[in-house]
């Protein structure tokens, strides 16, 4: 029997697509870890091939009993990814403490560990978006989600674990199977629905004089590129070099660029309306994100990231077919 691969957050956005890509590569000895809850997240599992699925709590119990010690890798995509989550204790347990347990277990059993960090750790971006180790301890996230990710990054660095484990700081990832995220869905997904229902898209006004309405900038990442980066590192044996790396294109684009690409992919002319930003977001809003990619390239990941227009075109094709 093949050695298993463990994927946490396996019914979530990136995790689900990691499992699908593993299947495409001929892998089905996969242990899925996730909490399905009472909504429709379970639908993300339909069509996937895997050995078993267990809850996060059950998984920790199985590890204590000595299970999965022969795992090839643990791909830890499981986390609460809501940037507006207010329960700080929940975020600490789910995003920080749980990840510590898995990282320590992987180290003690010599299992490759790849986990999801986030560009939210960079806060307002005033100090740049460098993933250099000298910068990481001093980052100042704007929300508790970003802080929970930052806490683990800093802890892993302090423990010396980043010499062997890999953290990927995902920027704005978009693509199929994100519907369960609700308001945390990508703007590509939201724009598609708004255009179909209303014929126009609403974007937040800018409250920073450096940026016109809709010209706030983000590093938008096609899902396929994020999955490929995860597996590039996860398929390496334990003992391969680790590190904390940005997962972004290195080229920021505006929200208007993104929405225009959605309209053009549907075959319509852009119709954008600008609306007030909720007060709760105004002081915690990132006006510019752009990954530095030199460290990722030096680690051997050389794939060219998909352009915004090509990624949006592919995603809109998927959404259109699903809506028919």
Q: Catalytic amino acids?
A: 145, 181
Q: Distances from the Cα of 184 to the Cαs of 52, 83, 130, 190, 241, in angstroms? A: 28, 8, 25, 10, 33
How far, in Å, CA of 34 to CA of 220, rounded?
26
* Phi, psi of 170, rounded to the nearest 5 degrees: -75, 135
How far, in Å, CA of 248 to CA of 173, rounded?
9
Between helix 308-323 and helix 255-266 the angle, nearest 10°, is 50
* Phi, psi of 286, rounded to the nearest 5 degrees: -90, 120
How far, in Å, CA of 307 to CA of 305, rounded?
6
Residue with tokens 């972004």: 248
Q: Where are the alpha helices (DSSP H) in the chain?
A: 13-24, 56-64, 88-91, 98-109, 144-158, 187-198, 223-234, 255-266, 279-282, 294-298, 308-323
Report the residue count for the chain.
324
Dihedral angle, C-alpha 58, 109, 170, 24, nearest 10 °: -80
Give Rg (Cα) of the chain: 19
Residue with tokens 């980052």: 139
Phi-psi region of 175 (alpha: psi -120 to 50; beta: other; left: phi over 0): left
Query: Is residue 196 within 8 Å of residue 186, measured between CB atoms?
Result: no
Using CB atoms within 10 Å of the CB of residue 71, give its burial: 0 to 12 exposed, 13 to 18 middle, 19+ buried: buried
């Amino acid at each position: 029997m093949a050695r298993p691969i463990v994927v946490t957050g396996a019914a979530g956005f990136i995790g689900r697509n990691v499992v699908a890509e593993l299947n495409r590569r001929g892998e089905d000895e996969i242990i899925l870890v996730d909490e399905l809850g009472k909504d429709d997240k379970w639908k993300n599992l339909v069509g996937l091939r895997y050995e078993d699925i267990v809850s996060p709590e059950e998984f920790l119990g199985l590890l204590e009993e000595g299970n999965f010690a022969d795992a090839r890798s643990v791909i830890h995509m499981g986390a609460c990814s809501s940037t507006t989550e207010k329960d700080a204790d929940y975020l600490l347990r789910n995003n920080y403490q749980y990840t510590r347990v898995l990282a320590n277990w992987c180290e003690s059993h010599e299992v490759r560990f790849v986990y999801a960090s986030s560009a939210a750790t960079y806060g307002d971006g005033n100090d740049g978006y460098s993933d250099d180790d000298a910068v990481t301890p001093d980052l100042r996230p704007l929300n508790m989600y970003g802080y929970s990710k930052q806490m683990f990054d800093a802890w892993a660095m302090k423990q010396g674990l980043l010499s062997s484990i890999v953290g990927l700081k995902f920027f704005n990832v978009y693509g199929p199977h994100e519907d369960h995220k609700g308001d945390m869905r990508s703007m590509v997904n939201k724009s598609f629905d708004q255009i179909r229902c209303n014929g126009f898209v609403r974007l937040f006004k800018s409250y920073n004089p450096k940026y016109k309405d809709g010209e706030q900038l983000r590093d938008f990442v096609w899902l396929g590129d994020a999955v490929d980066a995860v597996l590039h590192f996860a398929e390496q044996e334990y003992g391969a070099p680790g590190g904390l790396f940005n997962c972004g294109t290195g080229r920021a684009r505006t929200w208007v660029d993104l929405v225009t690409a959605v309209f053009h992919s549907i075959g319509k002319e852009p119709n954008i309306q600008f609306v007030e930003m909720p007060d709760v977001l105004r002081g915690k809003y990132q006006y510019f994100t752009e990954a530095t990619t030199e460290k990722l390239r030096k680690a051997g990941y050389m794939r060219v990231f998909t352009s915004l227009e090509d990624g949006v075109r592919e995603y809109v094709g998927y959404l259109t077919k699903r809506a028919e």
